[in-house]
């Protein structure tokens, strides 16, 4: 409260001196002064911005403040002044934007403090307001606020489009009323950015747009639009020489004619000032940031250009980081896609379907099915730890090693033990890399389930390496999670030994193999079993139903599901004979073979080759094996000859010398057959040989 005192001429201040003091304050005070009467009408005013009181006195004095000026918050200002007048309690430091009433031009910011005026008798005279011009201070604060917001929020993701959305949201409304971010289209896809100057035909993708206010804003082109920047425009010039442009916009701006959609959007928005600044890094062009001010907002100045450059300088490395991540992600997915089978192979007695959702970062999940000897099928689902290219390459190494080991007809537990040895060796190779190699810090571990389905025995042997147990659905719709022992994850030096479990499988059963991430993304622990409770449905429909039920949190791990439905192997495509342990058994075996192949309609050349293979296999079994002997022919996609005997010792391929009378049996088999091998069982071994079946030629 300010008390106005009138003192007589007894040495105190006289009315004349009092008036002189007041006049001096109004003329020389560094703060603006404003005196209002009890009706809050202007009695006297002197602001540090002369433009605010250049109007004739009759247009200012005696009028309310809101009648003379456009205020940023008129209701709050009137409430503050009215409160000071009523209570006498001073108010300090309220920030108010002021510009002449309905006049174009910039807004000036004042820090307003007010006190009540009254005389010595307590008579209320009005309000004295001190108005400190803080326009420049607040501009600096606003710029610092913009830069702080950009540094805090831009670059939070490794996605080019998300990064640009963060950028435009950080600069609107403090730096721009409208902000547009455009990025070279190749950069969005993760490719290397082009060098400056940017060619006229290089397309840019509009990736982000934001504006002040909630009303819909006309855009020259929608977000996602891809097109080259027209010439000549400030946008094209900025991309050519990597220098920002500060441009005044008006109806007669000549370059607007080169881009009618952009001209229409500028006119509709009322934009009057533009800054274009390049998004550049080490001489390469990433994109372009365009900032517009509209309506009564201040025109841009060189300080704003400096700020826009700082914003772009922070954003460009963030975009490049996202680009590099996108590139690595694409490479990882490409590697993974080429290492995985396009579709799991369906065998005669096994129908399969799969679901594979690659993670956004590129993971190491894999699945596989492939044929084994004796009409059996291997089923695999695994996952290597980590992300990106290292995880994909580790998955490829483990998958290749598994195929090589499976060709040896190893039991599932023994195969996983050998695969674990391979993973340990690969991990040791990583650990021996130079300390500067980032791959050295990524451990090589993984999980896997390996199963072998035998349609002749109607069994499935399964072994786990740190992997979830499969789910089996019986023909009647009952579902069970198999209770199987699990060995350590792949790459583990210590842990329990791997164990294989053999289960009986009825025809028409469905077995589900999956990665742990499928369970994490499922709405409930038994969601998979609920879907699989209808085993008669097409397998791909079951996979789709599982997909539709997943939660939206599968971005960080591969989701893999492999379904297999069992079928009976056609009985008329198998022939089995017990063979005497006697040299005469060779002729008997040839006769059985010739008769059976003729019944199957096999061509004569294959019949002759098969008879030779059977002769050599039976001869070896009689000479080196032990009873019982059993010959079996299987007609599938290939023709398989198998001879079983009770001797667990493996035959050895030998290259006989010229003078040797024997030792050429397996060598002959290896030359005639497409593939051959030895399979062991608790009661002995089975030597097998496969041939490609040729269609029977018709007679002339």
What confidence tens digit (pLDDT) does each residue in 272-285 have? Answer: 899 999 999 988 99
- On whether both 540 and 474 belong to a single domain, the answer is yes
* Alpha-carbon span 645 to 473, nearest angstrom: 36
- Specify if 337 maps to a domain: no
Q: Is 562 helix (H, G, I), strand (E, B) or coil?
A: strand
What mean pLDDT comes out for the span 19-43? 71
In which element (H, E) is residue 94 found? strand 91-100
- 635 and 601 fall within a common domain: yes
Q: Which has the higher per-residue pLDDT, 440 or 309?
A: 309
Q: Are residues 527 and 657 in the same domain?
A: no
Residue 339 has pLDDT above 80, yes or no: no
Mean of the per-residue pLDDT values of the chain: 84
Which one of 550, 566, 582 terminates a domain? 566
- Distance (Å, rounded) from C-alpha 349 to C-alpha 604? 27
Predicted pLDDT of residue 336:
66
Segment of 21-25, 255-259, 503-507 carrying the highest mean pLDDT: 503-507
Are 404 and 436 contained in the same domain?
A: yes
One domain for residues 278 and 347: no
Count of structural domains within the chain: 4
pLDDT in tens, 138-173: 888 888 888 898 999 998 888 899 999 999 999 998
Higher-confidence position of 555 and 84: 84
- Is 224 in the same domain as 76? no
**pLDDT > 90? residue 655:** no
What does the DSSP assignment read for 461-510?
EEEEES-PPPEEE-TTS-EEE----EEPPBT-SSSPPP-EEEEE--TT-E
Beta strands in 265-409, from DSSP E residues, in sequence order: 271-281, 284-294, 350-357, 364-371, 377-384
Examine the domain organization and report whether 615 and 660 are in the same domain: yes
CA 323, CA 316: separation in Å to the nearest integer? 10
CATH number for the domain harbouring residue 165: 3.30.450.40
Q: Averaged over 507-524, what is the pLDDT?
A: 90
Question: What are the Cα distances from residue 251, in Å, to 159, 268, 270?
Answer: 38, 11, 10
Residue 336, in any domain of the structure:
no
The span from the CA of 21 to the CA of 283, in Å, is 63
Give the model confidence (pLDDT) of 304-328 as tens digits.
Answer: 999 999 999 999 999 999 888 888 7
Tell whether the model's pLDDT for residue 4 goes beyond 50: no
216-262 pLDDT, tens digit each: 777 888 888 898 888 888 898 998 889 999 988 887 788 888 888 88
291 and 352 together in one domain: no
CATH assignment of the domain containing 75: 3.30.450.20
Pairing of strands 2-4, 108-119: parallel
Q: How far apart are CA 88 and CA 609, in angstroms?
A: 116
The tens digit of pLDDT for each residue in 394-405 reads 888 888 899 999
List the single range of 154-163, 463-472, 498-507 with lowest mean pLDDT. Answer: 154-163
Residues 194 and 293 in one domain: yes
Same domain? 158 vs 304: yes
Domain boundary among 113, 133, 153: 133
> Domain span at residue 101?
2-133
| Average pLDDT rounded to a whole number, residues 505-510 | 94
């Amino acid at each position: 409260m300010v008390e106005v005192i009138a003192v007589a001429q007894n040495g105190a201040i006289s009315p004349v001196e009092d008036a002189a003091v007041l006049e001096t304050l109004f003329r020389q005070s560094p703060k603006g002064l404003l005196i209002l009467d009890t009706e809050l009408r202007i009695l006297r005013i002197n602001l540090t911005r002369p433009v605010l009181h250049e109007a004739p006195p009759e247009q200012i004095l005696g009028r309310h403040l809101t009648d003379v000026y456009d205020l940023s918050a008129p209701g709050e200002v009137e409430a503050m002044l009215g409160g000071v007048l009523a209570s006498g309690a001073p108010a300090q430091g309220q920030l108010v934007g002021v510009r002449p009433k309905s006049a174009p031009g910039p807004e000036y910011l004042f820090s307003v403090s007010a006190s009540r005026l009254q005389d010595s008798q307590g008579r209320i005279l009005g309000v004295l307001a001190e108005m400190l011009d803080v326009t420049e201070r607040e501009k600096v604060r606003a710029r610092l606020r913009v830069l702080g917001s950009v540094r805090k929020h831009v670059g939070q993701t490794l996605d080019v489009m998300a990064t640009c959305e963060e950028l435009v949201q950080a600069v609107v409304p403090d730096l721009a009323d409208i902000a547009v971010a455009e990025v070279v289209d190749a950069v969005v896809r993760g490719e290397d950015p082009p060098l400056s100057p940017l060619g006229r035909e290089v397309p840019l993708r509009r990736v982000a747009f934001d504006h002040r206010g909630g009303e819909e804003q006309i855009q020259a082109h929608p977000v996602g639009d891809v097109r080259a920047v027209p010439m000549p425009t400030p946008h094209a010039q900025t991309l050519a020489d990597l220098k920002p442009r500060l441009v005044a916009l008006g109806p007669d701006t000549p370059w607007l004619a080169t881009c009618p959609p952009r001209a229409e959007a500028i006119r509709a928005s009322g934009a009057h000032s533009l800054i274009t600044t390049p998004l550049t890094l080490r001489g390469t062009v990433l994109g372009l940031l365009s900032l517009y001010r509209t309506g009564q907002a201040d025109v841009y100045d060189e300080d704003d250009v400096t700020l826009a450059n700082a914003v772009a300088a922070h954003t460009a490395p963030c975009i490049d980081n996202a680009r590099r991540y996108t590139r690595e992600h694409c490479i990882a997915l490409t590697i993974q896609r080429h290492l995985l089978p396009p579709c799991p192979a369906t065998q005669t007695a096994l129908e399969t379907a799969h679901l594979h959702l690659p993670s956004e970062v590129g993971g190491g999940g894999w699945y596989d099915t492939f044929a084994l000897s004796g009409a059996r099928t291997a089923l695999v689902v695994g996952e290597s730890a980590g992300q990106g290219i290292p995880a994909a390459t580790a998955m490829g190494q483990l998958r290749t090693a598994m195929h090589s080991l499976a060709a040896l007809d190893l039991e599932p537990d023994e195969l996983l033990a050998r695969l674990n040895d391979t993973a340990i060796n690969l991990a040791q190779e990583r650990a021996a890399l130079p300390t500067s190699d980032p791959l050295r810090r990524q451990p090589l571990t993984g999980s896997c389930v390996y199963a072998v389905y035998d349609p002749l025995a109607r069994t499935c042997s399964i072994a786990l390496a740190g992997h979830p147990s499969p789910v089996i659905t019986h023909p009647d719709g009952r579902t069970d999670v198999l209770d199987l022992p699990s060995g350590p994850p792949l790459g583990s030096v210590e842990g329990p030994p791997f164990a294989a479990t053999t289960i009986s499988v009825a025809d028409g059963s469905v077995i589900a193999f999956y990665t742990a991430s499928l369970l994490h993304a499922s709405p409930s622990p038994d969601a998979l079993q609920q879907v699989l409770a209808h085993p008669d449905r097409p397998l791909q429909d079951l996979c789709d139903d599982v997909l539709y039920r997943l939660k939206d949190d599968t971005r960080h791990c591969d989701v893999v599901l492999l379904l297999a439905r069992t079928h009976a192997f056609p009985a008329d495509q198998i022939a089995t004979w017990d063979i005497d342990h006697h040299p005469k058994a060779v002729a008997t075996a040839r006769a059985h073979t010739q008769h059976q192949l003729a019944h199957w309609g096999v061509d004569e050349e294959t019949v002759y080759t098969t008879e030779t293979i059977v002769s050599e296999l039976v001869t070896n079994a009689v000479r080196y094996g032990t009873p019982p002997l059993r010959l079996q022919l299987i007609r599938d996609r290939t023709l398989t000859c198998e001879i079983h005997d009770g001797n667990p010792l493996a035959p050895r391929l030998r290259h006989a010398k010229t003078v040797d009378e024997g030792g050429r049996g397996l060598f002959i088999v290896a030359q005639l057959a497409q593939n051959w091998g030895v399979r062991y069982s608790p009661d002995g071994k089975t030597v097998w040989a496969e041939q490609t079946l040729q269609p029977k030629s018709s007679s002339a």
